[in-house]
Chains A and B, each alone.
Chain A
Amino acid sequence: MKRLLILSFSILSAVMVYAQHGNDASSHEGRRFSAGIHVGTQGFGINAGYQLHHRWVAVLATSYAPYGYTATRTLGKNAYDIKMKEQLGNVQALIGWKPFSGVHTGRFLQRLYIQGGVAAFYKEEANATAKPKEDYQYGDIIIKKEDLGKVNAQVTWNKIAPYGGLALRGLELGGRFAFNADLGTYYLSKPQVHMTANNLLSENVSQEAAVQKNLSDYRWLPVLQVGVAYHF
Chain B
Amino acid sequence: MTKNRISFILLMFLAAVGMIVACTNPFKDLEISVNSNVFKNVVNLEVSSSAGTSLDNATISISGPDAGKIYNAEGKKVFKVTGGFLFLAVDPNVVISEQAPLNVNVAISAANHLGVQIPVKITGSEKIAMRKVVLLNTTASSTEMAIKNTSVALASDGTPAADVTVNIPPSSGSSESATIMIPAGTQFRDANNNVVSGTDLKVSMIVPQTGSENLAAVFPGGTGLTQPAIQTASGTSAGTLLPGGMSEVSFTLNGTSITNFSKPIDLDIILDPDFINPGTGQKVKAGDKLGIFSFSSNDPVWKQEQEATVQSSGGKLTVNFSSSHATWFLAGSFIEGCDNDLKIKLTADWLGNGITHPVTVKVYSAVDDHADKLLVQKNITASDGSELSFDNLPKAPVIIKTFDVDENQLSATTVADPCNGGLQTISMAASPVAGNPKTTMQLYVRCPNQAQRVNVLPTFYLYYKVHGQTGYKLLGIVTNGYISTTLLDPGKKYDFRAVWGATVKDVNNVTVKADNTATVGDNPAAGEILGTKVGATNLEMLREKCKEAGL
User: How long is the Cα–Cα vector from A203 to B28 in the complex, in angstroms?
Assistant: 18
Q: Which of A17-25, A88-96, A212-220 contacts the other chain?
A: A212-220
Q: Which of A42-50, A74-82, A172-180 contacts the other chain?
A: A74-82
Task: Let me know if B2 and A105 touch, CB within 8 A.
Answer: yes
**Smallest CB–CB gap between A81 and chain B, Å?**
12
Q: Which of B68-76, B124-132, B241-249, B325-333 contacts the other chain?
A: B68-76
User: How long is the Cα–Cα vector from A78 to B456 in the complex, in angstroms?
Assistant: 14
A35 surroundings in chain B (CB, below 8 A): none
Given contacts A105-B2, A141-B75, A200-B35, contact A185 B20 (CB under 8 A): yes
**Smallest CB–CB gap between A127 and chain B, Å?**
13
B534 surroundings in chain A (CB, below 8 A): none
Mask: chain A, 204-223; 1 = CB below 8 Å from B; 0 = not = 10110011011111101010
User: How long is the Cα–Cα vector from A200 to B455 in the complex, in angstroms?
Assistant: 12
Given contacts A100-B2, A139-B76, A200-B38, contact A214 B25 (CB under 8 A): yes
Mask: chain A, 110-142; 1 = CB below 8 Å from B; 0 = not = 001010000000000000101010001011111
User: How long is the Cα–Cα vector from A80 to B17 in the complex, in angstroms?
Assistant: 31
**Contact pick for A215, options B26, B455, B551, CB 8 Å:** B26
B25 surroundings in chain A (CB, below 8 A): 214
A204 surroundings in chain B (CB, below 8 A): 32-33, 455-456
A7 close to chain B: CB less than 8 A = no
Task: Let me know if B551 and A77 touch, CB within 8 A.
Answer: yes
**Smallest CB–CB gap between A32 and chain B, Å?**
25
User: How long is the Cα–Cα vector from A144 to B94 in the complex, in angstroms?
Assistant: 12
Task: Let me know if A75 and B456 touch, CB within 8 A.
Answer: no
Task: Let me know if B30 and A207 touch, CB within 8 A.
Answer: yes
A68 close to chain B: CB less than 8 A = no
User: How long is the Cα–Cα vector from A208 to B455 in the complex, in angstroms?
Assistant: 11
Residue of A201, A202, A214 most packed against chain B (CB within 10 A): A214
A77 surroundings in chain B (CB, below 8 A): 33-34, 549-551
Interface size class of A (residues with CB under 8 A): 35 or more
Task: Let me know if A207 and B31 touch, CB within 8 A.
Answer: yes
Mask: chain A, 173-197; 1 = CB below 8 Å from B; 0 = not = 0000000000111000000000000
B480 close to chain A: CB less than 8 A = yes
User: How long is the Cα–Cα vector from A185 to B12 in the complex, in angstroms?
Assistant: 11
B5 surroundings in chain A (CB, below 8 A): 99-100
User: How long is the Cα–Cα vector from A143 to B37 in the complex, in angstroms?
Assistant: 12
A109 surroundings in chain B (CB, below 8 A): 2, 6
Interface residues of B in 11-39 (CB under 8 A from A): 12-13, 16-17, 19-20, 22-35, 38
A73 close to chain B: CB less than 8 A = yes
Question: Please, which residue of chain A has its CB at the minimum distance from the CB of B37?
Answer: A200
Task: Let me know if B71 and A80 touch, CB within 8 A.
Answer: no
A37 surroundings in chain B (CB, below 8 A): none
B2 surroundings in chain A (CB, below 8 A): 100, 102, 105, 109
Question: How many B residues face the partner with a CB closer than 8 A?
Answer: 41
**Contact pick for A136, options B27, B29, B34, CB 8 Å:** B34
User: How long is the Cα–Cα vector from A151 to B34 in the complex, in angstroms?
Assistant: 11
B77 close to chain A: CB less than 8 A = yes
Task: Let me know if A214 and B33 touch, CB within 8 A.
Answer: no
Question: Please, which residue of chain B has its CB at the minimum distance from the CB of A206?
Answer: B455
**Contact pick for B34, options A100, A114, A139, A148, CB 8 Å:** A148
A166 close to chain B: CB less than 8 A = yes
User: How long is the Cα–Cα vector from A199 to B26 in the complex, in angstroms?
Assistant: 24
A139 surroundings in chain B (CB, below 8 A): 71-72, 74-76
Given contacts A151-B32, A211-B26, contact A140 B76 (CB under 8 A): yes
Task: Let me know if A144 and B93 touch, CB within 8 A.
Answer: yes
B9 close to chain A: CB less than 8 A = yes
User: How long is the Cα–Cα vector from A77 to B410 in the complex, in angstroms?
Assistant: 47
Question: Please, which residue of chain B has its CB at the minimum distance from the CB of A165?
Answer: B16
B92 surroundings in chain A (CB, below 8 A): 141, 143, 147, 200
**Contact pick for A214, options B26, B31, B38, B480, CB 8 Å:** B26
B23 surroundings in chain A (CB, below 8 A): 217-218, 220
User: How long is the Cα–Cα vector from A196 to B20 in the complex, in angstroms?
Assistant: 28
**Smallest CB–CB gap between B124 and chain A, Å?**
16
**Smallest CB–CB gap between A132 and chain B, Å?**
8
Question: Please, which residue of chain A has its CB at the minimum distance from the CB of B29?
Answer: A210
**Contact pick for A78, options B20, B34, B38, CB 8 Å:** B34
Task: Let me know if B32 and A207 touch, CB within 8 A.
Answer: yes
A165 surroundings in chain B (CB, below 8 A): 16
A203 surroundings in chain B (CB, below 8 A): 33, 35, 455-456, 480
Given contacts A214-B25, A214-B26, A214-B27, contact A222 B93 (CB under 8 A): no
**Contact pick for B38, options A143, A164, A218, A222, CB 8 Å:** A143
Task: Let me know if B93 and A141 touch, CB within 8 A.
Answer: yes
B172 close to chain A: CB less than 8 A = no
User: How long is the Cα–Cα vector from A9 to B26 in the complex, in angstroms?
Assistant: 26
**Smallest CB–CB gap between B88 and chain A, Å?**
14
User: How long is the Cα–Cα vector from A210 to B20 in the complex, in angstroms?
Assistant: 20
Residue of B32, B72, B75, B550 most packed against chain A (CB within 10 A): B32
A166 surroundings in chain B (CB, below 8 A): 9, 13
B452 surroundings in chain A (CB, below 8 A): 210
**Contact pick for B32, options A130, A183, A185, CB 8 Å:** A130
Task: Let me know if B71 and A217 touch, CB within 8 A.
Answer: no
* Listed A/B pairs (9) with beta-carbon separation below 8 Å: A75-B31, A141-B71, A148-B34, A165-B16, A200-B38, A203-B455, A204-B32, A214-B29, A217-B22
- Other than the known A128-B26, A132-B34, what 7 A-B pairs have Cβ atoms closer than 8 Å? A76-B550, A99-B9, A147-B92, A201-B33, A203-B480, A215-B26, A222-B20
Tell me the B residues contacting A by CB distance below 8 Å: 2, 5-6, 9, 12-13, 16-17, 19-20, 22-35, 38, 71-72, 74-77, 91-93, 452, 455-456, 480, 549-551
Closest 3 CB pairs of A and B: A139-B75, A77-B550, A76-B31
